[in-house]
Structure 1
């Protein structure tokens, strides 16, 4: 499925796995806590390729955003989707035929920014696309049919995508639990068993 998101199939020649986990000692608050520094770090790693990874990755980068703190005095820091890092404006294509379930801008530091959610009837699963360009939402309507392979959206710039280096957050969801235009993309360690079942690995689906 993930090979259908971009204009080219991902391969060792055009893509690279990125490690944003808590064990990456190159990442510290002076990097991930500063948008410009974080963008420079990601761009240096990419070297013109598409970066990917992050499913169920434990990340400390969320601790610089207050909205990831929980009432239990810990953080939501287990990433539930796959990230694809590339230049702002990179187009993203629908990997499966679907229908627009919902869309909205999720504002705030560290949030998704512009977000689209599709429902795929044949597979009985939802797909979420976060950190998009604001213009991607202008022509959408709930219920709109999206054929497989149709251009759906573009990677947004930091000033519109929640303050992140440009990337796509791509997540599969079995049960939306009543959410519209949004769904948790990060969970705390104590909830990971539920979310791992409800949000399967896109690379294995």
Structure 2
């Protein structure tokens, strides 16, 4: 269990953030309050307790931030799964592991407070990333701190401290950290899509959310 929801019984909504969603053209995505009202308004209208989606999704929402548009090959392919839920929602470790690294990636549209765990699966390292957390989530952490599967790990953060996004958890898996610590690309360019997908497996292999 990653969040306190049962995806086989609790109602959830798959959210579309591609150019195929006509709502996005009418929203001021740079206004986080407006963006938040849209996301949680959709959830309320659907009677859903959480919004989900996003792995390998070619998204249109990253135009809101220069963080993703710094080159001629802008980043637009989402490498994790987003779980949109209220700030303060607890997050639990999905596997036994230890803290690999953590930091506050404090840029508009970035992860904000971020934790990365290292796991061993079938004798090989697997890393899991948790982004858009609360700042207090980082208190008391240290590299190597152990967590058991199902143990409270962190919580979803409010904006603006969560990187200035509507409250949600970005959950991502990596088989190779590429030498990085406290951060890892959660979005890549179309050019880099194949390379990053080869080291960022689908997180739904752990979450088992029907319909994703």
- Kept after mapping to 1: 8 A contact 2:115/2:130: yes
CA distance in structure 1 between the partners assigned to 2:205 and 2:97 by the alignment: 19
- Give 1:29 shift: 6.3
- Give 1:119 shift: 0.4
**Pair 161,29 (structure 1): closer, same or farther in 2 beyond 3 Å:** farther
- Deviations, residues 19-62 of structure 1 (Å, cap 9, x unaligned): 11121111126332211110010011111511110001111111
Q: Match for residue 52 of structure 2?
A: 52
- Kept after mapping to 1: 8 A contact 2:96/2:148: yes
Unaligned runs of 5+ in 2: 207-212
- Kept after mapping to 2: 8 A contact 1:29/1:61: no
Unaligned runs of 5+ in 1: none
Q: Match for residue 178 of structure 1?
A: 179
**Pair 29,142 (structure 1): closer, same or farther in 2 beyond 3 Å:** farther
CA distance in structure 2 between the partners assigned to 1:135 and 1:29 by the alignment: 34
Q: TM-score, normalised by structure 2?
A: 0.91
CA distance in structure 1 between the partners assigned to 2:77 and 2:26 by the alignment: 18
Moved over 3 A (4+): none
- Kept after mapping to 2: 8 A contact 1:31/1:41: no
Q: Match for residue 119 of structure 1?
A: 118
CA distance in structure 1 between the partners assigned to 2:89 and 2:203 by the alignment: 20
- Kept after mapping to 1: 8 A contact 2:73/2:191: no
CA distance in structure 2 between the partners assigned to 1:68 and 1:12 by the alignment: 36
CA distance in structure 1 between the partners assigned to 2:32 and 2:9 by the alignment: 28
**Pair 59,12 (structure 1): closer, same or farther in 2 beyond 3 Å:** farther
Matched residue count: 201
Deviates more, 1:186-195 or 1:116-125: 116-125
- Give 1:70 shift: 3.6
SS of the counterpart of 2:13?
strand
Alignment map for 1:36-75 (pairs within 5 Å): 36-47=33-44, 48-71=48-71, 73-75=72-74
Deviates more, 1:20-29 or 1:163-172: 20-29
